Amino acid sequence: MMPGGPRDWTTTFDIVVPTTGRPSLRALLACLTDAGARRITVVDDRVEGGRLRVPAGVELLRSGGRGPASARNVGWRAGGPSRWVAFLDDDIRVGPDWGERLVEDLAVLGPTAGASQGRVRVALPTQRRPTDWERNVAALQRARWITADLCVRRAALVSVGGFDERFPRAYREDADLALRLMDAGWTLTRGARAVEHPVGHAGPWVSVAKQAGNADDVVMDALHGRGWRERAGAPRGRLRTHLATTALGATAIGAALAGRPRAAGALAAGWGLATGELAWRRIAPGPRTRREVATMAATSAVLPAAASLHHLRGRARARSVEREPSLAPRPARRPAAVLLDRDGTLVVDVPYNADPERVVPVPGARGALDRLRASGVLLAVVTNQSGIGRGLMSADDVAAVNERVEALLGPLGPWLVCPHDPDAGCACRKPRPGLVLEAASRLGVAPDRCAVARGVLVPNERTRAEEIVAAPEVAGDLDEAVDMLIGAP
């Protein structure tokens, strides 16, 4: 067997960038246009606003402001059939060789590798100590499975349904995906490529706003159990201390209202000590400028209460989250991959065709394939080309014809070709299973998740009557076959 396709498909990738319209997007896209991606998709996740300007060749979609999980789902489901999907944040910076380094990372992965994370570098100031916010951003360098640069196998995304849209903000939706991938049997790796993550500007109350993530942590408890932090490499933080500090402050106020000044004073002193300890913990490693000290003092006074309130909100949300379906389910009827014949299914059958100019698509083939790509289903082509074994054409002739097919119909994933004469007794000539098994292996899916195993037959003028009778399912054309596989539009 030989690929016979236009290029090595095992490391092909799409790029998906969700954005809220940050100015940094333009510089990122300028670096990505030569990265070697088959498709670059920007998903505008603003509720409203002017249309973004993107370079030629970059697709622009909208997700309606439903959050980064939804935006990423919109992006990867619109792409395909590249084997991998690289998710990038819109505020990172990539070098001119990022695409090459990504391909190198992907080339060494085995069939069970579900994702490869790039390394994140945060440049901190060298002439002074970093501020609290700068240290917060720098922690991304130690984080696991964050989507600043996370490349996921498309088959893995299909198998778990993509990102769970019950996570509405850029927090924990990446850890949730990683845990579900591991639960589904995929392995996650860290590549050698690297991106830069600027610190960016943030207001003085950013640390208080970030406490909203405590609600998502409770949802993670409900979905993955209390041990999810160890599996995801997520530090526990100071929630217990924040809850105790908040309790001291609340009971101090209650005691004062109840006319118990001594108790109120003692409780208030305890709250003050806890708040001071938190403030100093944040001030000590920083630059200790007047502005930084004032900001840390003010935010430390309200930060524990904010964390506690969001935690309580998360607990109320978690009571029902296990009963709610994920907003990114995998359709039950949809296969993981569709394996297509070339001649008579994708293009008009020309026996022993060695001339790319004679390639004519079957009517409706492009629309049917676009529907499959948009659904997130993986594609591959499995085709018998005995003309090679019979000496009627060369392997290069077949590859040239295959290139023409993709030029007319779009990317089709890996090409698996049997070049042998029918009398050779090989294991790859259809209807023997060799090509199907090889295609399933290269796609990273089980053979029984491939549509060819389900046996949807699209007859043509050369299909024998007994083949039609024997087929478990028969479609009138390729578009009808797609209806049967993924449901009517």
- Measured CA to CA, the distance from residue 40 to residue 75 in angstroms comes to 9
Cα 265 off chain centre by: 52
Residue 22 confidence (pLDDT) above 60: yes
Q: Output DSSP code: residue 28.
A: H
Residue 327 confidence (pLDDT) above 60: no
Residue 464 confidence (pLDDT) above 50: yes
What is the rounded (10 degree) CA torsion for 115, 33, 17, 443?
A: -30
Asked if 341 is an active-site residue, the reply is: yes
Please compute the mean of the pLDDT values over residues 320-326 and round it to a whole number: 64
Residue type, 182: M
Q: Residues of 76-111 as b/e, b for ≥16 C-beta within 10 angstroms?
A: bbbbbbbbbbbbbbbbbebeeebbebbbebbeebee
Q: How many CB atoms lie within 10 A of CB 374?
A: 14
> Closest by alpha carbon to 285, among 129, 451, 418?
129
- Measured CA to CA, the distance from residue 401 to residue 95 in angstroms comes to 36
- Measured CA to CA, the distance from residue 86 to residue 115 in angstroms comes to 9
State the catalytic residue, choosing from 44, 105, 176, 341: 341
> Closest by alpha carbon to 405, among 367, 372, 356?
356
Calculate the alpha carbon distances from 63 to 45, 53, 75, 171, 174 in Å.
Answer: 5, 16, 9, 18, 18
State the catalytic residue, choosing from 216, 343, 397, 479: 343
What is the dihedral sign for C-alpha 64, 65, 70, 71?
positive
- Measured CA to CA, the distance from residue 256 to residue 58 in angstroms comes to 62
Please compute the mean of the pLDDT values over residues 362-391 and round it to a whole number: 89
- Measured CA to CA, the distance from residue 347 to residue 355 in angstroms comes to 13
Compute the radius of gyration of the chain from its Cα atoms: 28
Structural domains in the chain plus CATH codes = 9-202 (3.90.550.10), 203-328 (no CATH), 337-486 (3.40.50.1000)
- Measured CA to CA, the distance from residue 140 to residue 155 in angstroms comes to 27
pLDDT value for 110: 86
pLDDT value for 177: 96
Where in 284-439 does DSSP place strands (E)? Answer: 337-340, 378-384, 415-418
pLDDT value for 462: 56
405, 347 in Cβ contact below 8 A?
yes
- Measured CA to CA, the distance from residue 362 to residue 475 in angstroms comes to 14
Give residue-wise pLDDT tens across range 101-135: 999 999 999 888 999 999 999 999 999 999 999 99
Residue 148 confidence (pLDDT) above 60: yes
pLDDT value for 477: 65
User: Quick one: tokens of 243?
Assistant: 């809850």
